[in-house]
Amino acid sequence: MSIRIRANFLLWCCAMAYAALSSAAIQGDLIEELVAKSEPTVLIIEGLRADGGSTQSSACVVQKDGLILTTAHQVIGIEKLTGRRADGVTFPLSVVEIDEEREIALLRANRTLPAAAALGDARTLSAGALLVTIATPVNLDFTVATGIVANTSRTYRGFPVIQAELTAAPGSSGGPVFNKKGEVVGLIMGVLEEQDWVTIIIPINNAYSMLERHGVYRASLPSDFHEQELAPVSGISQVELRALEAYNNGTKTADAAGKAIYYKRAVEFLPAFYEAWFNLAVAAHNAGDQETALKAYQQALALRSESVEARRNLGRLHIAMGNFAEAIRLFEEVVSLRPAAPQSYNDLAEAYRKAGDTHRAITLFNEAIAQDERYTNALFNLGLTYVQSNEWELAYDAFERYLAAAPGAADREKVKSWMDSIKERLKH
């Protein structure tokens, strides 16, 4: 009996060891694939301090037209900022916006970039979740580190942060942190001074409002479109049933790339399946596959030419891809379909602003505000556009109206500091 028990125990140990090795191998393959896909979106940021000393940090490309996200403390007071890709290509950078409270900064390259990261949602993380970062500790360019979420309920300056067990040596600050789907869920802020094994991560959600102000959107289903299972009706064909099964599997899948696989299968079975094309576009955009998203939105519009949401999402995708003329065309169509919606004019104005036509952008932002004088997105964007046009008094007025319309705005102090700077400028 004891021999049989010992033999069974040895078999059980072998099985557990094999399972552990298999699991480790699968996770290793996942990380390798994630790094290969994500590394082109990571940059080294270099610059000079006022005393002439050099600095080095990390950053993440969030839009292929040159927008880059990093941590604020790495760029405040730094001159001659440059970015360097993994292939060695370097280029100058300029500061677009800094939010010291949230510890985030948005930079712009003077060129288009080959890849942009897919934006995730840090709220989906839980303790123990896998994290992968690609950052640049001093003299160790583009280093990969893995770790786990330790706690999701920490705060810094009143804003949410994530505590992680993740290596973060000097120079890693600003480096993107990816979840297992390859989505950016945060940026490395640094380690605690007296507990250097504790790494603090800024959730990507803290940057959403800043990113959206500059035309970077995380694709999502519109408010009047719900991703839910569809029930088959009687009399449908086997092909239609298989398309519906694939679609429903997509609605039940958690990660964007997995959803895209099922939705693509659904439209292969049933090319006239509008909902599947639309959801494929959203999932592909969230997974960072802009080309698939582009084709899927175009097909959705071919099937349902009156769809405002497909046009709006496609327009935002074109902005992300730097195709401003096409974005303008689509948002003009949205205006004609929804002329009473201030969002229509705000989106079109933002496309013109991104294209550099500030005069037309100002006209359209004012049209959005004429429809809703407390429409905060347009008021804020109007202020930014007046700053871009050096129309300081009008910028001050727009920001003042923005604060009056949004007294509890999270960026209130930052906007007030801008207004103080404008006031000083107007004195001279």
Query: Is residue 7 over pLDDT 90?
Result: no
When pLDDT is cut at 50, 70 and 90, the band that residue 28 belongs to is low
What 3-state DSSP class applies to 233? coil
Helices 324-337/342-355 angle, 10° precision: 160
Name 148's bridge partners: 130, 165
Radius of gyration, alpha carbons of the chain: 24
- The proportion of the chain whose per-residue pLDDT surpasses 70, expressed as a percent, equals 85
199: which 2 tokens? 């790494």
Q: Give kind and range of the element (H or E) at residue 190.
A: strand 184-192
Q: Which of 59, 83, 93, 63 is nearest to 354 (CA)?
A: 63
CA distance 265 to 247: 8
Higher pLDDT, 405 or 389: 389
Q: Give kind and range of the element (H or E) at residue 322.
A: none
Give per-residue pLDDT as tens, 235-285: 778 888 899 899 888 888 877 888 899 999 999 999 999 989 999 998 898
- The answer, as to whether pTM is greater than 0.75, is no
Q: Residue 20: what pLDDT?
A: 42
Q: Which of 178, 191, 202, 183 is nearest to 120 (CA)?
A: 183
CA distance 341 to 175: 39
CA distance 85 to 111: 13
| Contact status, residue 403 vs residue 416, Cβ threshold 8 Å | yes
Query: Is residue 17 over pLDDT 70?
Result: no
When pLDDT is cut at 50, 70 and 90, the band that residue 156 belongs to is low
Give per-residue pLDDT as tens, 37-55: 888 999 999 998 888 888 8
When pLDDT is cut at 50, 70 and 90, the band that residue 137 belongs to is low
- SS3 for 379-425 is HHHHHHHHHHCCCHHHHHHHHHHHHHHCCCCCCHHHHHHHHHHHHHH
Average pLDDT over residues 190-211: 80
Q: Which residue has the tokens 């294209």?
A: 355
| Contact status, residue 121 vs residue 101, Cβ threshold 8 Å | no
Looking at the structure, give the CATH architecture of the domain made up of residues 39-109.
Answer: Beta Barrel (2.40)
Q: Residue 340: what pLDDT?
A: 85
| Contact status, residue 411 vs residue 399, Cβ threshold 8 Å | no
- The per-residue b/e assignment along 237-256, b for 16 or more CB within 10 angstroms, e otherwise, is eeebeebbebbbbbbebebb
- The per-residue b/e assignment along 95-120, b for 16 or more CB within 10 angstroms, e otherwise, is ebbbbebbbbbbbbbeeebeebbbbb
How many CB atoms are closer than 10 A to CB 284?
Answer: 27
Q: Residue 217: what pLDDT?
A: 72
Q: Residue 96: what pLDDT?
A: 87
Where exactly are the structural domains of the chain? 39-109, 122-208, 238-427
The yes-or-no answer to whether 122-208 and 238-427 have a common fold is no
When pLDDT is cut at 50, 70 and 90, the band that residue 314 belongs to is very high
Q: Which of 212, 142, 123, 267 is nearest to 411 (CA)?
A: 212
| Contact status, residue 8 vs residue 117, Cβ threshold 8 Å | no
Q: Which of 401, 399, 398, 391 is nearest to 417 (CA)?
A: 399
Report the mean per-residue pLDDT for the chain.
83
CA distance 104 to 116: 17
Overall fold of domain 238-427: 1.25.40
Q: Give kind and range of the element (H or E) at residue 24.
A: helix 2-38
CA distance 265 to 271: 10
Overall fold of domain 122-208: Thrombin, subunit H (2.40.10)
